[in-house]
Amino acid sequence: MRDEKKQQRRREIEAAAYDLLALHGYDGTSMLAVAKAAKASNETMYRWYGDKNGLFESMVRANAAAVRNGLQALVDDGLPPLEVLHRMAPVLLGMLLGDKAIALNRAAAADATGDLGRVIATCGRDEVLPLIKEVLVAAVQQGLLQPPAQGEIGSLFMNLLVGDQQMRRAIGVLPAPTAEDVTHQADQAMSHLLQLCRPSAAPVP
């Protein structure tokens, strides 16, 4: 199968898996059910993914890669680091609180092996956080920000941006945010970051 066609087929299979996951949860979503929903053969499913955890790991990696590519495009535009960060914030927050990420986090919570949770943690750390830290380091080097008195600036930014919202979404006590909610929360996070990490010589706006 040609690469483009194979990638399209994988997207269709994984879209079917998301639909079933929303309806039946992780335990109720089987490889056979996904194969039927996507009109794929069992042979294809097991050859491409190995098992159910392999399927969901592929979904985690695809979701992380999509947001990483979006963030990388902002970095590549060559804008000043604070402008890049301002544009990155709603993209990242929207992904972390989006239906796909929440479905995968719920699946990880139901995976007794812990494998899926480890993949989610690794993809976030390896695929996305280095880009955020790269932009923050550039802002510090250019004198636009100073590191916080305690802790690390990347962790501070993520706490300001996300906090416990992803957990609250996963357990069903926080509704899905609107685009306006995401923009507002991202703007607030940026404002708080600038207040907490303003260089001592910088004027108060």
- What are the angstrom distances between the C-alpha of 52 and each of 22, 98, 113, 194? 16, 22, 12, 43
Integer Cα distance of 29 and 133 in angstroms: 36
Whether the per-residue pLDDT at 204 is higher than 50: the answer is no
Fold of 1-50: Arc Repressor Mutant, subunit A (1.10.10)
Integer Cα distance of 93 and 125 in angstroms: 15
Please, where in the chain does CATH 1.10.10.60 lie?
A: 1-50
Integer Cα distance of 17 and 75 in angstroms: 32
Report the CATH number of the 61-196 domain. Answer: 1.10.357.10
Which residue from 204, 184, 169 is spatially nearest to 89, judged by alpha carbons? Answer: 184
Q: Does residue 97 contact residue 177 with C-beta atoms inside 8 Å? A: yes
Integer Cα distance of 59 and 111 in angstroms: 15
The length of the chain is: 205
Confidence tier at 205 by pLDDT (50, 70, 90): very low
- Between 202 and 189, residue with greater pLDDT: 189
Out of 2-6, 98-102, 179-183, least confident range = 2-6
pLDDT in tens, 119-146: 888 887 777 888 899 999 999 999 999 9
pTM: 0.84
pLDDT in tens, 25-64: 988 999 999 999 999 999 999 999 999 989 998 998 888 8
Which residue from 167, 139, 133, 165 is spatially nearest to 152, judged by alpha carbons? Answer: 133
21 CB neighbour count, 10 Å cutoff:
22
Task: Return mean pLDDT, the chain.
Answer: 90
Please, where in the chain does CATH 1.10.357.10 lie?
A: 61-196
